[in-house]
Amino acid sequence: MRGSVPLPYYRTGCARYAVSGKAYSRKSDNVFVSHIINELIETERVYVEELQSIIEGYASEMDNPSLLHLIPSVLQNKKDILFGNLPEIYEFHNRIFLKELENCIENPELLARCFLKRKEDLQIYEKYCQNKPRNNIFPLCCLLQECQRKLDHKLSLDAYLLKPVQRITKYQLLLKEMLKCSKNSEGTAELEEALATVLDIIKSVNDSMHQIAITGYEGDVSELGKLLMQGSFNVWTDHKKGHNKVKDLARFKPMQRHLFLYTKMLLFCKKREENTDGHEKTASYSFKNSLKMSTVGITENVKGDNKKFEIWYNGREEVYIIQVTTILYF
């Protein structure tokens, strides 16, 4: 195959030398970069083939008149929910991204630009991941089993529908390996920017998957502006009117709350985990309270504790002391 390099060399190459601290020549760097690019392209080709098999072997078969009797009522007219925008992802990778990556075999310096150029296009993964929890509700049925048999797939459709989620994560791992082999060389800045771009996309995907799990909020979260941050916190509250102070709040047991900070609103939710039939626990966020960001005041730390900050509302009529419990997703 044009431009291919045996993969085993990569797996014992740059990463191994970087960990051991051994010196290696610029020529060795270039060889290892070639191995990484080769793995990226080889796995991209496999990925495109897998997407094609899902669309042709499953999605198209749901429109096959001879197989309609195998489709349970719960799956009828639900193809768009089951597969989301997978066809859009396939078209992008098959017609555009794979070809651009293949151009990097002879021109490794172009790799970073591929990701920077296609930053907006890669946002299609956010839409796919927003839909992903919805397709978990469908049971395994005779149609899907028959499709799996025809395709000779060892894994079920559920596993293949995870491929896009796994792929976007794979990109950042390979870009990190590229950086290990390209430190202080020409193109390093572009690689760092490309990695930051992919990490931003992963953050957007992660944030979107959390916010679609919000329940009980009567408004439309899409009208709240950009989601700036989300995470779990300890929260102490005081809703008393008048001049009551909050100095003793920390004595009481805090509430566990998952906060969603938008440009226009701060949502307080309670995280719940439920078991679904045949699947792992799924998280949901039960809406509890909200504050308009245009009406709140913020104290950056409380009593010198940089893990705590204070949000107050309506002339301190409502005060919230918030303590970080997990990494913030800024």
- The residue ranges of every structural domain in the chain are 7-212, 215-324
- Lowest pLDDT segment from 12-16, 32-36, 153-157, 219-223: 12-16
Burial of residue 270 (CB within 10 Å: 0-12, 13-18, 19+) is: middle
pLDDT tens, position by position, 194-204? 999 999 999 88
- According to CATH, what is the number of the domain 7-212? 1.20.900.10
Ranges 86-90, 205-209, 288-292, most confident: 86-90
- According to CATH, what is the number of the domain 215-324? 2.30.29.30
Q: Is 198 helix (H, G, I), strand (E, B) or coil?
A: helix
C-alpha span between 93 and 171 (Å, rounded): 13
Question: Is pLDDT larger for residue 314 or for residue 260?
Answer: 260
C-alpha span between 282 and 309 (Å, rounded): 30
Please, are residues 135 and 145 in contact by the beta-carbon 8 Å criterion? no
pTM value is 0.73
Number of C-beta neighbours around residue 131 at 10 A = 19
Q: Which residues 6+ apart lie within 8 Å of 187 measured at CB?
A: 109, 112
pLDDT tens, position by position, 43-71? 999 999 999 999 999 999 888 888 778 88
Radius of gyration for the alpha carbons in the chain, expressed in angstroms and rounded:
25
Query: How many angstroms from the chain centroid is the CA of residue 157?
Result: 20
Does the pLDDT value for residue 262 go beyond 90? Answer: yes
Q: What does 69-129 look like in DSSP terms, one character per residue?
A: GGS-GGGTT-HHHHHTTHHHHHHHIIIIIHHHHHTTTT-GGGHHHHHHHTTTGGGHHHHHH
Please, are residues 179 and 193 in contact by the beta-carbon 8 Å criterion? no
